[in-house]
Amino acid sequence: MGYYNSNEPKKNKKGYFASSFTGLIAGALLVGVVLPGMTDAELGSTESTSTSESVSGLQTASTVVTSDVTKVVEETTDAVVGVSNLQVAQQNPFASQTGEGKESQEAGVGSGVIYKKDGDIAYIVTNNHVVEGAEDVMVTLSDGTELDAEVLGTDVWTDLAVLKVPGESIKAVAEFGDSSVLQAGEPVIAIGNPLGLQFSGSVTTGVISGTERLVPIDINQDGTEDWQSEVLQTDAAISPGNSGGALINAEGQLIGINSMKIAQNAVEGIGLAIPVNTAIPIIADLETEGAVERPSMGVAIVDLAEVPAQYRSSQLNLPTEVEGGIVIESVVEGSGAAAAGIEAYDVIVELDGNPVNSVLDLRQHLYNETKVSDVVKVKAFRNGELQNFELTLTENS
């Protein structure tokens, strides 16, 4: 978002009124010429008009316009909720530690999507960062009803979280679509709560600008890229508070969970959403297990790029042509790496035939291509010699 200042000289009021009045007449003429030539089919809408005469004798028209967008919004908006992150604030620094003098305050507001109702329980997906650090979470339905929510699980790597609430007041549940068939240019609708609950249920429209975009993520905020998240790109406006809300296709199906926005002075109209096909297995794990099961090698590692050149030759004995890889700092006792014979200062350069140049490469391969109990083939340098290992992956604790 930006503010734009005009450097043009100000016009006097008389001249401004005259030009505005002239423009108004021209605009009216244009409307009279252009609009009658457009059909309802071209507009994608239908109209219902009634005419009445006011006390002053002027005729007024009341027109209800129904379009494909309004129909989709009407059918889906009740499945989108507000999510309030409540955290305890210390009111009195001299209060006891028993809770006296403390109360929960709203630390942030996002959005969420009701995706399932099972008996008297309803389930909501939102973003991890929306509920991160919350002492309590409150969900606000489209009709203003407030419900206490329980966080069932969160996942920092995909920025997803699952909540559960009493289902008695739930009116609508979102239908999952298929994000793998999306095409650039396909129309989409974003529903959420930009800037907080005062704008709850806000609707913006746009198109899919791109699919399978990779966005770098710094999980621990240390300035180093830890992960690359695959996202959908849309030009539908997504602002703070939209996070966790719904990205919907023209059929009214949920195809993305709005997550983040690139906000730079030179960049506008780039909104990002987690594809629903990526989200579904994560949601299932968070709902049933409270966490996502991911494979682990059982090692502490560091990028070879972070090791000074003199240590690469003197301590690691690496050939000079080896420029990428990951260095084993330590091996967890009883882990798959320990059982495979991998040792500290080994330098992994390949997994299952794929080059590994960084920690990011290793994570991408393990988290996207393998599962717990899989056996991976590892190539690593030890004292200058390339060796082969077979390692059984265990659950990441």
From first CA to last CA, the distance across the chain in angstroms is 41
Q: Beta partners for 136?
A: 86
Q: Beta partners for 310?
A: none
Please, are residues 390 and 339 in contact by the beta-carbon 8 Å criterion? no
Nearest-angstrom CA–CA distance, 303 and 368: 20
Nearest-angstrom CA–CA distance, 189 and 156: 26
Task: Give the residue ranges of DSSP H helices in 173-331.
Answer: 276-288, 309-314
Indicate which residue of 84, 129, 239, 361 is catalytic. 129
Nearest-angstrom CA–CA distance, 299 and 296: 8
Please, are residues 349 and 324 in contact by the beta-carbon 8 Å criterion? yes
How distant is the alpha carbon of residue 132 from its chain centre? 14
Indicate which residue of 243, 259, 335, 358 is catalytic. 243
Indicate which residue of 159, 235, 285, 361 is catalytic. 159
Nearest-angstrom CA–CA distance, 128 and 130: 5
DSSP-assigned letter for residue 77: G
Q: Report the candidate in 104, 107, 142 with the shortest Cα–Cα distance to residue 124.
A: 142
- Beta strand 80-90 with 187-192 is unpaired
**Contacts of 164 by beta carbon, 8 Å cutoff, 6+ apart:** 121, 122, 123, 124, 149, 150, 152
365 noted as active-site residue: no
Element (H, E) at 43: helix 40-43
Catalytic residues: 129, 159, 243
